[in-house]
Structure 1
Amino acid sequence: MKKLVMATLVALTMAGLAWANGQQESSGGSMSNNSMSNGSSPFYDLSGMAPEVVPFTTQASAEAMAKDHTVIYFFAASWCPTCQATYKNLKAHYQDIPDNVRLVVVNYDTASALKTKYGITQQHTFVEIDAQGNQKKIWSGTTTVQSILAKA
């Protein structure tokens, strides 16, 4: 009986340590805990890039923007090398985006409902929407402001 109790205690201790280690690893990366479950994207620092480049907040706000602007969703992931290259180009050239265009950066990892709505199956995808939120165009592979605008 003593051996069974000791084995159980050892197993529980090991399980607890494994769980604690997993919790530490999941919160210790380079991403901040700013990634919101609503699909917004503070995981990329967009400060100073508004109004041309903004984080996703809600579908309603993007649709409202689309009444007066061309709105393009950019489904990006912080771990995606192509997304990172696009972000660097956006940071350097966001002021080249015309006043009538808004690029809305969407967190690919957390925006499940939006990905489902537009059939998004890979990060680094762009979707142009109308004022009702309907998809006008969809594409991927562009990494510069110039090439994004050429596709829109």
Structure 2
Amino acid sequence: MKQKYSLLLILAGALLLCGVFWVYMRSNATMSNPSNDVVLEEPIVVDGDELEPASPPVQLEFDLGSYVPYSSTSLAQAQERGVTVLFFAATKWCHTCSDLEQEIIARAAEIPGDVTILKVDYDNDSAMKSAYGVTVQHTLIALDSSGEEITRWIGLDLDELLSSLEST
């Protein structure tokens, strides 16, 4: 009887260990293999009117420039205004992406008025990645008002980005 109980405990422990290992491997595969992406659009709020359900991501509108989550609505609005659209492909787990986002928020007044930065969720927006050939997070793509790519950069901080925008 004691031997059966010990065998059952060992079997239960092995199954638990396998389950933990499976969950760990699945979460790592999702982070490193973006082919499992689901297209999600971030909601946006304009002039206090809710166009879609509001969400907590960064939503900044400045007198000079703007930084908003990407959605088809925010892209259309930026294109209607005739501004340069700057896609910022970022992830929650990318430290340099987080650093740039914090710089953008802290130094909002330095964003040129003719630039709208749209934060694209690199992990979940496969349509944007394939449309513009984005293969790595912390990619910034400048588009003209018709949606044509002007240029792209990878890994810039805000000073480098602002300097690069001036020369384009």
TM bin, normalised by shorter chain, reads 0.5 to 0.7
Structure 1 residue 133, shift from structure 2 partner: 1.8
Q: For the Cα contact (< 8 Å) 2:68–2:117, is it kept in 1?
A: yes
Write the deviation string for residues 89-145 of structure 1: whole angstroms up to 9, x where unpaired. Answer: 11210121122111111100011011011110000000011223221111112111x
Report matched runs for 1:107-118 at 5 Å.
Answer: 107-118=121-132
- Structure scoring higher RCO (CA < 8 A, sep ≥ 6) equals 1
Number of aligned pairs?
130
2:58 to 25, 35, 46: 46
Unaligned 5+ runs, structure 2: 1-10, 28-37, 44-53
Q: For the Cα contact (< 8 Å) 1:124–1:140, is it kept in 2?
A: yes
1:79 is aligned with what amino acid? W
Once residues 144 and 83 of structure 2 are traced to their aligned partners in structure 1, the CA distance between those partners, rounded to angstroms, is: 9
Which residue does 2:90 correspond to in 1?
A: 76
> Judging changes above 3 Å, is the alpha-carbon distance between structure 1 residues 136 and 86 closer, same or farther for their aligned structure 2 residues?
same
Percent identity of the aligned residues? Answer: 27
Q: For the Cα contact (< 8 Å) 2:41–2:71, is it kept in 1?
A: yes
Unaligned 5+ runs, structure 1: 1-9, 27-35
Report matched runs for 1:123-142 at 5 Å.
Answer: 123-142=137-156
1:46 is aligned with what amino acid? V
Q: For the Cα contact (< 8 Å) 1:126–1:139, is it kept in 2?
A: yes
Which residue does 2:78 correspond to in 1?
A: 65
